[in-house]
Structure 1
Amino acid sequence: MTARQPVPLPPERLRAAVAEGLVDNVIVALPDLTGRLVGSRVDAEHYLDTAGVTAACAYLLAVDVDMTTGPGYAIDAAATGFGDFTLIPDPATLRLLPWDEGTALVLADAHWPGGDPVTVAPRQVLRTQLDRLAALGLSAQVGAELEFLVFREDYQTAWDRGYQDLRPATRHNVDYAVAGLSDVDPLVNRIRRDMVRAGLRLESARGECHPGQYEIVFRHRDALTTCDNTVLYKTGAKQIAAAHGQALTFMAKFDTGEGNSCHLHLSLRDPDDRPVFAQGAGMSALMRHFVAGTLACARELVLFQAPNVNSYKRFAPGAFAPTVLGWGRDNRTCPIRVVGQGESLRLEHRVPGGDANPYLAVAAVIAAGLHGIEQRLELEEPFQGNAFSAEGRTLPPDLATALDLWRTSPVAEAAFGAEVVGHYARAAQAELDAFTAAVTDWELRRGFERL
């Protein structure tokens, strides 16, 4: 596996900060199936004494967004008495949280009491694919472009209103705008600065298409570091918004307008850290196989990039999200956009939404690309023109279809193993079951009086 980037907060600096009274607690956090951070606050001195190793209930990796568990997961928490696994911190992720005074945070990996890693944990799922790359002498560099919507109301008000009648923080489309952002700038500037102080490397920030929509882009890093930074960013942005008396959402599709995406830029490097996607002025054979794999597996692995019922509402004609499968050179209407040149040549995978778990989304891209490399798949001709209005092979229209494709995918089983496939199939089924059982506002408006 490729070497990790420099540690944001070396242990000796944490020890000094604790001694000076600047840090009194450390959050030991585990990314769950949805990409949320769960864990415990540990007294800072206790953290130093124990290296932060702690215990947490194993059901944390077998729950839906409502924290509901049950049988069918690879982890049957109830059958084992809701026992613990061990959280072992990854020192490379330790950092101070500028928005939470006196607090540091470290991401941890889940291990069973015997010491084996929990294979269904999102970080471990990604590590497995990175190890497959490493066996070929390759490593992945990834950048994530994540969009969110900002509202004038705070989270409590949004909850009280049933998330209805919320006012976006801008009144109109502010894509690339310089003016017209005065109502969103104080919040996004605070998010931007605090993320840099937390160790992320800023690249750019700008308004987006939907009223109230914004995008902050951080520099590409090795794949695991980028995913770690992304879950920290999503968590911190919400906490900073709450402190500002506002709410923001990364959900894929808030209304009928443009959705929130999480475009992934990915390139591969050799053992000497040299890019391998370019050959002369064009794409290397390896890159062509890799891109061909992402297209060949797009339908059967989309569950890892669009994990929720709401995810598929983003794939709507005219909503600036991909629908028809294909690739194009600098073509934003295609799900796979090849962009850059020379050492910066890379693919942009435009399928994941803002609700995607970054570890799983990146793992799916790598697994698909490896399939293309191993099978030496030939790359089809690039799409020319507007793919949004084209006809052809499409992404699955809904979560149920994506789940069926995932369950029967030989690529998924070969890449991730039957346990991981079954575990995340159960998670998707839980999402579907919850949606099917719900009575929506649309149903009430349509049928309360008239039917």
Structure 2
Amino acid sequence: MAHDPAHDSAFNLNPNTLVRLLGKPASRFTRADIVRAVEELGIRMLNLRYVAGDGRLKKLNFVINSRAHLETVLTLGERVDGSSLFPFIDAQSSDLYVVPRYRTAFINPFAEEPTIDLLCSFYTREGKPLESAPENVLAKAQRSLQERTGYTMEALGELEYYIFDRAEEIYPITEQRGYHESHPFSKWGVVRREAMMHLARMGAQIKYGHAEVGNIVREGRQMVQGEIEFLPVPVEEAADQVVLAKWVLREVAYAHGLEVSFAPKIIVGQAGSGFHVHTRLMKDGVNAFVEDDDLSAAARKVIAGYLMCARSLTAFGNTVPTSYLRLVPKQEAPTSICWGRSNRSVLVRVPLGWTGDAMSMVGSANPCEPQVEPLSGPNPQTVEIRSGDGSASVHFYMAALTVAARYGLEHPESLDVAQRLLVDTDAATVQGLDQLPASCTESGRALRADRHIYAEDGVFPTGLLDSVAEQLEDLGDEGLSERLFGDDAALGELVQRHLHCG
């Protein structure tokens, strides 16, 4: 077979080490490809990773003893104790298999020995996907959406976080003025840049990173906020890359002697950390959210689905009591259930898109390039739901969003709901809008009320939904904000307890 230079050039800008080596997209990786990479790169260890009930990545280490041993692990996976990994699991499923997904393979950037890691899926003793496993719930949500509507969901996350350090006297930070600031007025951008490069080499599709609004100085310590935003990919991949990003940011910060937190609230009255999620529907490579340079009917129906399910979505996107110290008025976090265009006070925002005359801007900025050819690929328009935070159970939350999108597409009143809840002013000033829950307890009740929506098509097992609702209700945080008002010590203890959620 003749060598095709064009085939090489298709991957020479790809930062993923394995994609460049193997000359194919990660979605086409096979067991033989992983074996080849291990042999050619001198890999000595292999890690199997999987997301447990607490949303964090777990790990099994293997020393590669031989090619036969490697092929066995890649084929069979390994056995784990499911009862130690999940708060809810059927008694007959306490022993589980974890089986690697080859497309997720990456070179571990932190291992002392050359190591390759793979994300895994959970299977029961019968060899069937575990119904309540986070990655399987999300896969079922995507499958239900596609089978019933013909669309698939793509998503991207905006991951905000704080880094803790000693306050600097040289070019000191300005409180609540960190947005897109650059060094030396912004601190620890090196953590963000290192994390972004690691993630890109691991296969994550990154859009950009930047300093965020939150700058806090307290008692000789500074807390600086950053954000990494991803590109839209199939929703299953979007969840994987956010979980990986949390792990990578923690590892990079740790290497610098720093602490990083994705907690929704660090200091009451200061900017919290959100986990905004952008979504779009795809069909035959076309973004179904745009029609005639405007928002399509499908997009409005999906927005309506998010709004109708908004209260119960918090059960997956806002899972600790400090979540509801962030969801308060006048803090650039939503409280009213409504949507709008380029309006950051609403729950669902339609960001600026590049349609119509906007495509001529580059010609204005660059007189030597007056003729701009249309870009290849789908229209970049998305809709953004702004309620989630760093405590989110990422796979469950994105599965719930996918269910809500399908619910909106099929609900007969969706377009009317979207029309009625469109807001073009500060949402806090609009009377009569329904409000998001004010506590985990209230969120759990909302999930029970909407339980039938998430259980449809068997996407979320009913036992899992009941377990999530019960955990939220057991936190007993109803009225917590009012009870702790003015009690700085109690608030500080609450924040510290949930500092490393997610």
The interval holding the TM-score normalised by the smaller chain is: 0.7 to 0.9
Structure 2 CA distance for aligned equivalents of residues 431 and 395 of structure 1: 15
What one-letter code is carried by the residue in structure 2 that aligns with 1:265? Answer: H
1:5·1:225 contact (CA, 8 Å) conserved in 2? no
Q: Say yes or no: does 1:95 pair with 2:119.
A: no
2:55 alignment counterpart: 35
Answer whether contact 2:26 2:104 (CA < 8 A) is retained: no
Q: Which residue of the other structure, out of 383, 394, 402, is the alignment partner of 1:358? A: 394
2:225 is aligned with 1:186:
no
Do 2:403 and 2:454's aligned partners in 1 also have CA atoms closer than 8 Å? no
Q: Would you say the 8 A contact 2:105–2:118 is kept in 1?
A: yes
Q: Distance in 1 between matches of 2:282 and 2:454?
A: 26
> SS of the counterpart of 2:272?
coil
The residue that corresponds to 2:6 in the other structure is none
Runs (4 or more) in structure 1 with deviation over 4 Å come to 7-13, 416-419, 440-446
Query: What secondary structure sits across from 2:346 in the alignment?
Result: coil
In the alignment, structure 1 residue 349 sits paired with structure 2 residue 388: no
Q: Is the 8 A contact 1:8 1:93 kept in 2?
A: no
1:221 aligns with 2:241: no
**Does structure 1 residue 252 correspond to structure 2 residue 264?**
yes
In the alignment, residue 380 of structure 1 is paired with which amino acid?
Q
Please say which of residues 226-235 and 425-434 is displaced more in the overlay.
425-434
Q: Any gaps of 5 or more consecutive residues in structure 1?
A: 64-72, 154-164, 447-451
Look up the match of 2:365.
none
Check conservation: 2:195, 2:252, Cα contact below 8 A.
yes
2:423 to 380, 383, 406: 383
Indicate whether 1:321 and 2:333 are aligned: yes
Partner secondary structure for residue 109 of structure 2 = coil
**Residues 122 and 130 in structure 2, CA contact (< 8 A), matched pair in contact too:** yes
Partner SS state of residue 214, structure 1: strand
1:293-312 alignment to 2 at 5 Å?
293-312=305-324
Conserved? CA contact 2:186–2:211, under 8 Å: no
Counterpart-to-counterpart distance in 2, 1:183 and 1:251: 19
Look up the match of 1:49: 72
Q: Does 1:146 align with 2:159?
A: yes
Q: Deviations over 1:339-392 (max 9, x none)?
A: 225522221111111221221221111111111111132222420111144442
Give the counterpart letter for 1:412 in structure 2.
Answer: I
User: What is the CA-CA distance between 1:117 and the residue it aligns to?
Assistant: 1.2
Aligned residue in 2 for 1:75: 90
CA deviation map 1:174-218 (0-9, x unaligned) = 111124455312222211221122122332111111110001112
CA distance in 1, matches of 2:154, 2:236: 9
Q: Deviations over 1:68-95 (max 9, x none)?
A: xxxxx3434xxx6x94101111111111
CA contact (8 A) 1:62 1:75 kept: no
Deviation at 1:123, TM superposition (A): 0.8
- The match for 1:266 is 279
Cα distance in 1, alignment partners of residues 205 and 488 from structure 2: 47
The answer to whether residue 446 in structure 2 is matched with residue 405 in structure 1 is yes
Quick one: structure 1 residues 181 and 359, their matched pair in 2 at CA, closer, same or farther if it must change by over 3 Å? Answer: farther
Q: Paired residue for 2:86?
A: 62
Amino acid at match of 2:187: D
Deviation at residue 398 of structure 1 after TM alignment: 0.5
Matched, 1:107 2:105: no
Check conservation: 1:297, 1:368, Cα contact below 8 A: yes
Q: Is the 8 A contact 1:267 1:277 kept in 2?
A: yes
Match of 1:364, as an amino acid? A
Higher radius of gyration, 1 or 2: 2
Instruction: Give deviations 1:249-302, integer Å, cap 9, x for gaps.
Output: 1111122111111111111111x2111111113222222211111111111232
Give the alignment's TM-score, normalised by structure 1: 0.84
TM-score of the pair, normalised by structure 2: 0.76
> Could you say which residue in structure 1 is the equivalent of 2:39?
19
> What is the one-letter code of the residue matched to 2:26?
P
Whole-Å separation in 2 of the counterparts to 1:413 and 1:147: 27
1:276 aligns with 2:288: yes
One-letter identity of the residue aligned with 1:373: L
SS of the equivalent of 2:203 reads coil
Determine the C-alpha separation between the residues in 2 that align with 1:422 and 1:5: 38
Q: Summarize the alignment of residues 235-250 of structure 1 with structure 2, pairs less than 5 Å apart.
A: 235-250=247-262
> Is residue 140–residue 266 contact of structure 1 (8 Å, CA) maintained in 2?
yes
* Aligned equivalent of 1:290, options 272, 280, 302: 302
Q: Which amino acid aligns with 2:406?
A: L
CA-CA distance at 1:126 after TM superposition: 0.8
Question: Once the 2 structures are TM-superposed, how far is the Cα of residue 442 of structure 1 from its aligned partner?
Answer: 8.4
Over 3 Å counting, the alpha-carbon distance change for 1:20 and 1:87 in structure 2 is same
Name the CA shift for 1:300/1:445 in 2 (closer, same or farther; >3 Å).
closer
State whether residues 239 and 395 of structure 2, in contact with CA within 8 Å, keep that contact through their aligned partners in structure 1: yes
Percent identity of paired positions between Structure 1 and Structure 2: 23
Cα distance in 1 for residues equivalent to 2:228 and 2:102: 26
Number of residues paired by the alignment?
416
Q: Is the 8 A contact 1:142 1:220 kept in 2?
A: yes
Distance 1:127 1:185 in 2: 35
Q: Report the 3-state secondary structure (helix = DSSP H, G, I; strand = E; otherwise coil) of the residue aligned with 1:309.
A: coil
Matches of residues 125-164 of structure 1 in structure 2 within 5 Å? 125-135=137-147, 136-152=149-165
What CA distance in whole angstroms lies between the structure 1 residues aligned with 2:291 and 2:460? 38
Partner amino acid, structure 2, of 1:193: M
Aligned to 1:160: none
The structural deviation recorded for 1:411 is 4.2
More displaced stretch, 389-398 vs 291-300 = 389-398
In the alignment, the residues of structure 2 paired with residue 298 and residue 429 of structure 1 have an alpha-carbon distance, to the nearest angstrom, of 19
Seen in structure 2, the aligned counterparts of structure 1 residues 207 and 8 have a Cα distance that, compared at 3 Å, is farther
Are residues 74 and 201 of structure 1, via their aligned partners in 2, closer, same or farther at CA, if it must alter by over 3 Å?
Answer: closer
SS in 1 for 2:279: strand
Change (3 A) 1:219 1:21: closer
Root-mean-square deviation over aligned CA pairs: 3.0
Q: Given the superposition, is the C-alpha separation of residues 100 and 352 from structure 1 closer, same or farther in structure 2, using an over 3 Å criterion?
A: same
Map of 1:199 onto structure 2: 203
Structure-2 separation of matches of 1:237 and 1:87: 25
